[in-house]
Structure 1
Amino acid sequence: MNQSCESSDDLRAYQHYVYIVVYSVILAPGLLGNVLALWVFKVYIRETKKAVVFMMNLAMADLLQVLSLPLRIYYYLNNTWPFGHPLCMICFYLKYVNMYASIYFLVCISVRRCELVMRPLRYNSSKRKGDLLVCALGWLLVCLCCLPFPLLRNQSPPPSEAGGSLGVCFLELPMRPVGVPGAWALLILAELLGFVVPLVLVLACTCQTAGSLRLSAAGAIPDRGEKRRALRMVLSCALVFLVCFVPYHITMPLDFLVKANALRDCAVRNLIRRCHPFTLCLASLNCCLDPLMYYFTTDEFWRRLSKPELPESMMFGRRLSCMTGGEDTEGEEG
């Protein structure tokens, strides 16, 4: 195979430039937005049932991804990795864990808001505890399913292509030999579990929530304003999913086949390698888009930022609730 088809200095420089620019742009807003989101959701975790547990976990996944960006920017700027091979593999692995955790919790948010619109009376305190279990199982499932990403990479530190001695990292880690049948099996499984099924669920929740607006006042929730707020949330989840994750899951299997040497045509290989960095950057862009989704679609988030005196009023509300002997506050917000 022609060496220029395999890896060229110009292609590597182009990929590094794309990563440096995009990661530098999303670092500050992604960090500030998700720290702010966790601060707000911590206040409201007991005051509402509108998928706040899932949004907190989504913000945590985004924040963990943002915290790894400085190391990635350093590598792409200097073309070398001085932090040791184990840390490289950890950062490489966590990139996929955080991305698929984000997909998982976007699905959970969509399902919860749709469920609250269609069957609001079925949600109670025991189900809230179930949400915590869903989050824990989700993290475990994502961590296990993402193990093939680092395991398919060469575990011995490779020599640096840029002339250094500390090796390459991230997507430039060499692939272990994988046969074409094995590569296709892994790709189909990854696309189904990590993309197709979540996409179908998000779109189904969007359609169901939108359809509930056409129901009469005798529907599941008489308050059309509540339905509109729920629809804004699930539409935002769908939009983030379509913008950030659909392009990546189109180029990801093609890039995998390139790295597994299952695609031989040089023109096709180079085209895929030039498109894949953009889609990978789009997948990271959700770190900035998710906080915007919280602000524009979540009443609690907007009120917390708009009214600094809200914590005192909430404390008064809690004391009043205790005096009246009810958990009415929990039942009122839906």
Structure 2
Amino acid sequence: MIITTMNGSCQNAGDLRMYQHNMYAVVYSVILVPGFVGNIVALWVFRVYIRETKKAVAFMMNLAVADLMQVLSLPLRIYYYLNNRWPFGHTLCMICFYLKYVNMYASIYFLVCVSVRRCELIMRPLRYNASRRKVDMVICALGWLLVCLTCLAFPLLRNADPDDDLVTSGISTAPPEADMVCFSELPMQMVSTSAAWVILIIAELLGFIIPFTLVLACTCLTAGSLRMKTTGAIHDQGEKRRALRMVLGCTIVFLVCFAPYHITMPLDFLAKANTLSSCTLRELILICHPVTLCLASLNCSLDPIMYYFTTKEFWRRLSKPEIPERVISSR
């Protein structure tokens, strides 16, 4: 329960913190092993078997790397939420906090790249050649650079001093006896309402709305290619259906994992920045936002499933895991 104090701030009695910690610990424990195994297998298949194919493999490999990085950070998070303490120092806390958003937005970026490339290969297959593979690698490198730079805003908006009082965020969710708080309980920097809205609008546009619009456009174009014959397009209906399944898979991941999070993320930001006056509204937001954050973390387990059901080479090699002759001859 959140209580309103004399100065208008809201104090949390501890139930909300316990609710959040229990939810995070359970969800992260559930997705840890499937996410780790699924992405390791995905990287192995992409690296060994289909590295010469042109069907957005470079983007899928980088997507698997982003998902694997997120999975590798989960044990520390699970420890924190189970023990209600962070004994690993403030620097490691900020690194893990930062990498969470890097991995999430890198996943969004590469899902868009996969959708655009699969759509392009259906609509204009002759434009792809050996030089375009090098372009794909440049796109991947630029994507990582862009994501790493833009995600610096998340740790910068948190209080850099671990000894500062958590009341600066307007909502205290940690008990006074805790050694140190981390992740979502890090206090927010005090920002004006206008600055908060500018940050939120930019984050929503670049981080979700524009990427999701591109994925939807690719889905519509790929689905439309099944009903019409376009000059220079692939006429194999089976190949078009496989491409459509891949793009639809990306769309489903967006809808299930990232759409709910980006609906509640602005509200959660405003609540923690102490720009909302209603304590009841803050409590509702802080109850709903952890659910959407858990859904956003599910993408590291959903992406390998998408690879299996939408990539012909992937499920064929896993169903018949023979070693290709070219691998044997190279050895």
Q: Normalising TM by the smaller chain, what interval?
A: over 0.9
Q: Is the 8 A contact 1:45 1:53 kept in 2?
A: no
- Residue 203 of structure 2 is aligned to residue 190 of structure 1: yes
Q: 1:66 maps to what in 2?
A: 71
Alpha-carbon contact 2:54-2:133 (below 8 Å) kept:
yes
One-letter code aligned to 2:104: M
1:157 to 143, 154, 162: 162
Determine if contact 1:26/1:285 at 8 Å carries over to the other structure: yes
Distance 1:121 1:218 in 2: 11
**For 1:46 and 1:81, how far apart are their aligned partners in 2?**
41
Structure 2: distance between partners of 1:33 and 1:46: 18
Give the gaps of 5 or more residues in structure 2: 167-173
Which structure 1 segments of 5+ residues have no match? 320-334
Q: State the partner residue of 2:169.
A: none
Deviations 1:230-252 (A, max 9, x none): 00000000000110000000000
Tell me, yes or no, if structure 1 residue 31 matches structure 2 residue 31.
no
Displacement, 1:89?
Answer: 0.1
Q: Which amino acid aligns with 1:22?
A: V
How far apart are 1:294 and its partner, in Å? 0.3
Which residue in 2 is equivalent to 1:46?
51
TM-score (norm: length of structure 2): 0.92
Q: How many residue pairs get matched?
A: 318
- Pair 8,165 (structure 1): closer, same or farther in 2 beyond 3 Å: closer
Q: Which residue of 1 aligns with 2:251?
A: 238
1:139-160 CA-partner distances (Å, limit 9, x unpaired): 0000011011000111111379
Does 256-265 or 155-164 show the bigger shift?
A: 155-164
2-side partners of 1:122 and 1:214: how far apart?
22
Distance 1:244 1:10, change over 3 A: same
Q: Tell me the CA shift for residue 308 of structure 1.
A: 2.1
- Where does residue 4 of structure 2 map in the other structure? 2
* 1:50 and 1:113 in contact (8 A); partners too: yes
- Per the alignment, residue 307 of structure 1 pairs with 320
Aligned to 1:329: none
Instruction: Give TM-score, length-normalised by structure 1.
Output: 0.91
Deviation at 1:217, TM superposition (A): 8.3
Aligned CA RMSD, in angstroms, stands at 1.9
| In structure 2, C-alpha distance between the alignment counterparts of 1:245 and 1:298, rounded to whole Å | 22
User: What displacement does 1:262 show?
Assistant: 0.9
The answer for the alignment partner of 2:268 in structure 1 is: 255
Opposite residue 280 of structure 2, the aligned amino acid is A
Question: Is 1:93 the equivalent of 2:106?
Answer: no
1:318 Cα deviation from its structure 2 partner: 8.9
Letter in 2 for 1:294: Y
Q: Post-superposition shift, 1:24?
A: 0.7
- Aligned pairs for 1:87-236 (under 5 A) are 87-158=92-163, 161-164=174-177, 166-216=179-229, 220-236=233-249
Q: Give the whole-Å Cα distance in 1 for the aligned partners of 2:192 and 2:297.
A: 30
